[in-house]
Structure 1
Amino acid sequence: MTAPALVLVAHGTRSARGVEQVAALAEAVSAQVGTTRVAFVDVLGPSPSEVLRELDGPAVVVPAFLASGYHVHTDVPREVADSGHPDVRVTAALGPDRVLAAVLLQRLVETGWRPGDAVVLAAAGSSDPRALSDVRRSAALLAELVGGPVRIGYVATAQPRVPEVVGRLRGEGHRRIFVASYLLAHGLFHNRLGDAGADGVTEPLGVHPDLVQLLVSRYLTAAGAAAPQALRQALRVR
């Protein structure tokens, strides 16, 4: 039985650093599952349909999105259909997930956050209410870990915007405010967070070992019996 190739689908960015981070994430995943390809749904290529057309065997598409909005519900299924590939399985998006919340907490601590400091979860934003619901869930998961409220701010599309939320917290008397970048990689959206007026902005989720394992787990769940047996046993996926 041929193990399916993993197609990691990301948003896309003009930031060379961001593209390198996505490539490094795919490389780390490939070291565990085998053939892994990267595709993008916006800004640059290759598109998921282009990548799938180049694959002969079965494939598992993993949408590397932190909330399920238009790209997950519309773009990815359309690209899969357009590819004409006969054997494709699509996993759930990465977020919300407790693993991501734990990585966000680590990023906050690395940036200098201490218990009692205010936290703003900075998400890309979406006009899809399903995606906004996912972001609220992610904020709730992070709040459990930081032991206090987590406000939500958006970089684009949705309201309120991150600088507005930081300003409100200043007005409420918070002396130290940290922005948790709920973004996968560097790019225009992450760069904007530096002007939000916070005391610290975390790095994006990036190439974190736990994020790699989350991607692998998504793949294994979809691949099922076709996944490498040793890998399934190692991660206790049945």
Structure 2
Amino acid sequence: MSRVLIVGSSGTHSADGRANVSRLINAVRREAHGLDVADGYVDQQSPTLAEVVRTTAGPRAIVPLLLTRDPLPLRAMVAAARQDPSVSVTAPIGPDWVLAEIGVQRLMEAGARPDDTIVLAADAVTDEAAVEDVSKAARLLSAVWGGRVHVGTLAGLDADLGDAIDVARAYGKRVVVSSYVLTSGVAHDQMLLCGADVVTAPLVPPGAPDQRLVGLVLARARSRSGWLSADDGEHRAAHG
């Protein structure tokens, strides 16, 4: 029996965002030799993860298309996994060196220059574990970019994006926002209006998905060392 990779996504109302995620999942499906690939969603799209778990069988891994240990979608994914002991939840895809490399590519595509002030912008963070993940994402981006990276979030426990941009302006340089979001949607729309001089495209823009990201999703699915049991996953989602 083939193992099943369930790509778990938060879901989005954005038509562009849905199309971009769908292209990513189809690219994963094409490269997933020896794995059957299904997709499920926490909210706003169907099928739900619970439905996918009920209609599949055998060893299954839910790979969260999450850039941090965001507690709300992660709890939902763990709850879906608890329906069947054959289902595990892997670590989210972020933070990771691969995402930092793609983030630098987005900076270069946006015309960022070495003397710009870079602010990594993330969606709202409401959990200490997610705050740690955003900070780690900024450190990885800084290492690949080769310069300092500030951090701002749209809401929650970390520095407000608007405040972070105000601080960045004190350096007297252009402020470039590195969008730490997966795809188009409300969060990226808000980043475009944040007052920065330049805002990068999401990690998954229109067009063919980056093969490095495809490989990252597959690596999560195939590395059992990163898997969480349902009970462990619920504990981590609740406590970080």
Which AA in structure 2 matches 1:38? D
Residue matched to 1:29: 28
Matched, 1:106 2:105: yes
Residue matched to 1:208: 210
Which AA in structure 2 matches 1:216? L
Within 1, Cα distance between the matches of 2:63 and 2:224?
9
Within 1, Cα distance between the matches of 2:2 and 2:51?
20
- Secondary structure of the 2:114 match is coil
Q: CA deviation at 1:85?
A: 2.7
Any residues of structure 2 matched to 1:1-238 within 5 Å, and which? 2-33=1-32, 34-71=35-72, 73-81=74-82, 84-170=83-169, 172-206=170-204, 207-222=209-224
Q: CA deviation at 1:157?
A: 2.7
Deviations 1:62-84 (A, max 9, x none): 01111113136522111211xx3
- Secondary structure of the 2:141 match is helix
Q: CA deviation at 1:187?
A: 0.4
Deviations 1:145-177 (A, max 9, x none): 22221111112333422222112222x143211
Within 1, Cα distance between the matches of 2:193 and 2:52?
37
Within 2, Cα distance between the matches of 1:217 and 1:101?
16
Is this contact kept in 2: 1:5–1:60, CA < 8 A?
yes
Is this contact kept in 1: 2:175–2:198, CA < 8 A?
yes
Which AA in structure 2 matches 1:138? A
Deviations 1:93-145 (A, max 9, x none): 11111111111000000000011211111111221100100110110111112
Q: CA deviation at 1:223?
A: 9.8
Is this contact kept in 2: 1:10–1:64, CA < 8 A?
yes
Which AA in structure 2 matches 1:168? V
Aligned residues: 220
Within 2, Cα distance between the matches of 1:71 and 1:213?
26
Which AA in structure 2 matches 1:64? L
Within 2, Cα distance between the matches of 1:157 and 1:37?
32
Q: CA deviation at 1:50?
A: 0.9
Deviations 1:27-62 (A, max 9, x none): 000001142222121333322111111113321110
Deviations 1:160-209 (A, max 9, x none): 22222112222x14321111110111100001111111121111111221
Which AA in structure 1 matches 2:223? T
Within 1, Cα distance between the matches of 2:123 and 2:43?
14
Is this contact kept in 1: 2:115–2:173, CA < 8 A?
no
Is this contact kept in 1: 2:120–2:178, CA < 8 A?
yes
Return 5+ residue gaps in structure 1 as ranges: 225-238
Within 2, Cα distance between the matches of 1:153 and 1:43?
26
* TM-score for both structures, normalised by structure 2: 0.86
Within 2, Cα distance between the matches of 1:56 and 1:143?
42
Which AA in structure 2 matches 1:209? Q
* TM-score for both structures, normalised by structure 1: 0.87
- Secondary structure of the 1:122 match is strand
* Cα gap change, 1:223 to 1:61, in 2 (>3 Å): farther
Residue matched to 2:229: none
Within 1, Cα distance between the matches of 2:25 and 2:134?
24
Q: CA deviation at 1:222?
A: 3.0
Within 1, Cα distance between the matches of 2:95 and 2:173?
29
Which ranges of 4 or more aligned residues in structure 1 deviate by more than 3 Å?
none
* Cα gap change, 1:122 to 1:21, in 2 (>3 Å): same
